[in-house]
A and B are shown apart, each in its own frame.
Chain A
Amino acid sequence: MKIPESLLKKVEKPGRYVGGEWGQIIKDKKDVDVRFAFCFPDTYEIGMSNLGIRILYDIMNKKDYIWCERAYAPWTDMEQLMIENDIPLWAVESGDELKAFDIVGFTLQYEMCYTTVLNMLGLAGIPIMQSERTKDDPLIVCGGPCAYNSEPMADFVDIFLIGEGEDEVVELCDLYREYKKTEMTKDELLHRAAKIDGFYVPSLYDVEYNADGTVKSYTPKYDDIQKRVKKRIVKDLDKAPYPENLVMPYIETVQDRIVLEVYRGCIRGCRFCQAGMVYRPVREKSVETLNSEAKTLVENTGYDEITLSSLSISDYTCIDKLTDELLKWTDDKKVSLSLPSLRVNSFTKELMDKISTIRTGGITFAPEAGTQRLRDVINKNIDKDELLRACRVAFSGGKTAVKLYFMQGLPTETDEDLDGIIALARDVIEEFYRTPDRVKRQPQVTISAACFVPKPFTPFQWEGQCGYDELCRRQKYVTMKNTDRKIRYNYHDACTSRIEAVFARGDRRLGKALVEAHRRGMRLDSWEEFFDYEQWLDVFRSVGIDESFYANRTFGEDEILPWDIIDIGVSKEFLLRERHNAYKEKTTPACSEKCSGCGASCIGGKTAWCPKNVTP
């Protein structure tokens, strides 16, 4: 810890900045060849909860020649003091400034973190523009879900690591080690990197645009680099490294428990969902692997809570066996088990009795749309009866409150679908009164409605986002229609969703908007208190960008999309087919029922459902 104590005494939650936690890895910098600063562009509490960092921190630090440390965005009070006292951003373990590192890596978990990435570079005194950095500066790399369409960040980043990073981070460090020890130039390094699967070097591709502003072409600067960058995956999750120990935060974090990753990918194929597409093909861990990982982590960390994590936990093929095996020892050890993301069809009395956190916690379901018609459009294959059955189980188990997630502004949505949201909430209330063994209290249904944001690599990637005024009207409409005091209606801010949509489907030309936003001191845009919509509109105006070109325009089906440079395995043809099915209100079965030929199996790997005769 090298931050002056006088500063720590002045800030809120100084525990965010001091490091020293149990489980942190300290090495002697003289003994390592590559120093990697793993940055999370948000606060410590959020960053410490990220599973990807936990996994990659462990993998890198197991190599004796790599030392991976952590860095987070300071809160504004600390930021102010750092600027006043000329203290550059540091990594938590050594307290050394980021500039002293070989590689500075950021995970891009959501679009609204982009300004924070630039702010962290700025606070570290590292030039933000890729073109201005030399071999003397750290190499800036980014990964994570937003790297799948990384174009808005292309001006700032040396290398994007596309897909799952387990192998990529080590390959990157190995390459860097050679670079550092030899006369290899930075250009040579980038050229070498651009030949490695999953390594996307944006500066090595020239982009041309058509007169209408759409992308004309991506031309590689060298003949021997990838024409399209194929994402990397872990082929066999049972053999993949998983941390045996964790850094134990002193202060409370968002996900302050053991996260046991059960499988990757999702069999469902909801048409708005990016995670459901980019993490394909579905690969599972065996019950034996999971049980032993859980035991090891409980022993080593002292956590007394395990959460099973995946996109839709109940779709795990052996969920009953897994919970049974875990419950054999967790109760004795006073370790509690929690299951997030339950689907209505898996919500049973048996499960509720078995899992204490379901017994005691709140109940949330995600019908996403108010009518069956719209649920068919988005391929959310649940029906009203299933939802009501699940609610009845919850009510007879003593619950009185249910939370329902919806999305507003979905393609083809009409006022009828909005009426359906309220109607569904009413049906849930009625189901409560129809449950004979309900508790004698008033029921409460909370509707939580997000705004639909079209995301790259989804069947809805071509859809324009519902206009801002129309989104607001629809929110007001539902507010007006809701006359029942037992129904609470909350909705997300349409402004944030609009800016998110701009960057989600953005191209490289948005880089200049980010530079301008950074110049104006914008950061922590994922925090309501710092997000400033008018300021964003002004930024776009000042650099000559029409935000509706990205957010609200319906992209042409034959258009070259800015993210076509990335190959996620799932084919564009499949996404297009799914888009057309959406407009026909035709659903597509889950992978477990029938292969829909998405193309992800070409990536290979030990998949859970892909037909075996598909050759990679």
Chain B
Amino acid sequence: MVPEERYSVRVKFSKVGSLKFISHLDLSRTMKAAFLRAKLPIWYTMGFNPHPKMVFSLPLSVGTASMCEFMDFMLTEKPDYDEVVRRLNASFPAELRALCAYEPQTRFCDIGWAEYTISIISPEASADMASEIKKLFEGEIKIQKTTKTGTKETDISSLCDIIRCEYENGAINIRAMLSCGENSFVNPKYIVEHILSKYPDLLRGGDYTVCRERVFMSDKKTEFM
């Protein structure tokens, strides 16, 4: 059998609005249908039950938006990357957007860090509170981490940098760099929970949003592509 030609493609995409509430599994189903609509010559696995092979970068919690998700797949024809982006966007729901496509030079396991915007919208929010909250993240940061084996207290101070924490228009906006390592993944919800452990009433009559803005290599400086 002549080996099939395959070309790896990485697509960077954003996932906002209603898509925030769509789980990873449901996103894959949505992608599969979108690929068929886009009529891209996607490569199918060769097994008994052929299916398009798609690999996603990082897990993203339900409820979290993202401007920087990555997906790898393979095409059986040499890709025109602009055309791939154009066709995907024509087939994606409005709140899912392909941002760019290219040949991947890195591996998803090279990702070390991700930067998030966390906005806490609350009637109680103030500039003073913002600086108090910033102080909560100096020194040890003890959180209750739930894993398969149970809940345990962990110090995440080495896995978390608060870049910015400011009060703007009724909201406390936090920019945080959180670890994404395989064994040191910090879910942004821990940051919110840490704040709520000190300000339990903060979300009463309020809400919060989380958006993953950028991902970085393990040096925290080089943006992952």
Contact = CB atoms under 8 A, between A and B. Distances in A.
A300 B44 CA distance: 20
A531 B186 CA distance: 43
Determine which residue in A4, A302, A334 has the highest number of CB atoms from chain B within 10 A of its CB, and name it: A302
Given A21-B93, A22-B33, A300-B37, A9 B26 contact: no
For the complex, would chain A's binding face be called helix, strand, loop or mixed by DSSP majority? loop
Contacts of B187: none
A224 interface: no
B207 interface: yes
Nearest to A333: B36
B127 interface: no
Interface string B72-92: 000000000000000000011
A22 B21 contact: no
B194 interface: no
Contact of A301 (B33, B93, B208): B33
B73 to A, nearest CB: 15
A527 interface: no
Contacts of A14: 21, 62-63
Contacts of B20: 5
Nearest to B37: A302
Contacts of A248: 30, 33, 93
B109 interface: no
Nearest to A17: B21
A437 B170 CA distance: 75
Chain B, interface size category, equals: 20 to 34
A245 to B, nearest CB: 10
A300 B34 CA distance: 10
A301 B93 CA distance: 12
A250 interface: yes
B203 A6 contact: yes
Interface residues of A, number: 26
B34 A22 contact: yes
A22 B26 CA distance: 13
B58 interface: no
B23 interface: yes
Nearest to A304: B36
Contacts of B63: 5, 8-9, 14
Given A1-B18, A5-B63, A6-B207, A301 B37 contact: yes
A81 interface: no
Contacts of B91: 22, 302
Interface string B88-105: 000111110000000000
Contacts of B203: 6
A8 to B, nearest CB: 5
Contacts of B59: none
A19 B18 contact: yes
A298 B36 CA distance: 8
Contacts of B23: 15, 251
Given A17-B21, A251-B23, A334-B50, 14 more contacts: A1-B18, A5-B209, A6-B208, A8-B21, A14-B21, A15-B21, A20-B18, A250-B18, A250-B19, A298-B36, A302-B35, A302-B37, A304-B32, A304-B33
17 contacts: A1-B17, A6-B206, A6-B208, A14-B62, A15-B21, A15-B26, A20-B17, A20-B94, A21-B93, A22-B33, A248-B93, A250-B18, A251-B22, A252-B29, A300-B37, A302-B36, A302-B37
7 closest pairs, A vs B, by CB? A20-B18, A302-B33, A18-B18, A302-B36, A14-B21, A302-B37, A6-B207
